[in-house]
Amino acid sequence: MIPTTPQPRRPVATVAVVGAGRLGRPLARALSAAGSTVTGPFGRDQALDTRRVDAVVLCVPDAAIADAASTVRASGFGGVIVHTSGATPLRGSGADAGLHPLQTFTGDEEPEAFAGVGCAIAGITPEALDAARALAEALGLRAFEVRDEQRAGYHAAASVASNYLVTLLDAAEQVAATAGLDGADARALLHPLVAATVANWASLGPSGALTGPVARGDDATVRRQRAAIESDAPHLLPLFDVLRDATHDLAERGRIRG
C-alpha cells in the first residue's frame, strides 16, 4: 500500500547534517524550514559539534558512511545517527536509522522539493525507526519501511528508473543527432514525448503506456530503425537490440493479460 502524503509532524528539534553535496544542502534547508534547528551541512574537513544535537544525518557517499558514523560516535554523541543511502544496510554501517528520499537532487532545490516524495526509512530499534519517520514526515515525505535485505533491490529499482533512464535518453539524443537534431534541440523536441510517456506509465502501467512499432507488430519499421542505427550509430546497436527484445516481451505480456 502506497503511503499517503502526511501532514507535517513536529520536527526533530536539533539536527546536524554532515555532507554538503547534492542532498546535504537542500536537506539542511528543508529541515530548517520545517522547524528544526540545523547545523551544517558540514564539509569533509569541518569540525562537528554534537553536544546539543538530537540527530546527525549523514549525507555522504556509501563508502564513507561507516567512517563518518564512527567519527560522530567518537565525539561522544549519544543520539540517533541517520544515513541517507538507499543501498547500504544499517547493520555494520554504524548508523542507527536510514532515510532515503526517492528523488534526484542537484543541490539547489528549495524545501518544497521534498513534499510528497516517497522516502525509504529503517531503524535498528523501534526508537531509531520512529526518529527516521519523524524526520521524513516533518519534511512532508511519504515514508515507507525497507528492511536491510530489501535495500539492494529497492535501490536497483530506483537506479533503473532514474539513472538508467538518463542513459537511455542520452542514447536517444545521440540517434537524434544522426537525423540533424543536435543537443538542446533534440532535448526540447523529445521532452514532451518523454514526459507524456512517463505520465502514461504512471497512470496506465507499462502495458497500457506502450506504443510504437514493436507494440503494434510493425516489424518492417523496426528493421528500418535497426538498419539506421547500424549505419549511423553502430555503438548503440547492442542497446537497441536488448531494448527491442525487452519491449517485444512487454507487448506479449500485455496481449496475454488482455
Q: What is the Cα–Cα distance from 194 to 38, expressed in whole angstroms?
A: 38
132 and 238 together in one domain:
no
- pLDDT tens column, 211-256: 999 999 999 999 999 999 999 999 999 999 999 999 999 999 988 7
3-state SS track over 106-129:
CCCCCHHHHCCCEEEEEECCHHHH
Residue 8 belongs to some domain of the structure: no
- Enumerate the β-bridge partners of residue 38: 15
- Cα distance between residue 81 and residue 96, in whole Å: 5
The grid cell for 161 is 528508473
Question: Please, are residues 17 and 49 in contact by the beta-carbon 8 Å criterion?
Answer: no
Q: Please indicate, yes or no, whether residues 82 and 134 belong to a single structural domain of this protein.
A: yes
In which domain, by residue range, is 205 found?
A: 162-257
- Evaluate if pTM is beyond 0.85: yes
Could you report the per-residue pLDDT of 157-207, keeping only the tens digit for each?
999 999 999 999 999 999 999 999 989 999 999 999 999 999 999 999 999
Q: Which three cell numbers stand for residue 117?
A: 516524495
**Contact residues for 146 (Cβ-Cβ < 8 A; gap 6+):** 98, 100, 120, 121, 122, 154
Shared domain for 143 and 194, answered yes or no, is no
How far is residue 94's CA from residue 83's CA, in Å, rounded to a whole number?
9
Q: Is 6 within a domain?
A: no
145-158: string of b/e by CB count within 10 Å (b at 16+)? ebeeeebeebbeeb
Q: Are residues 136 and 251 in the same domain?
A: no
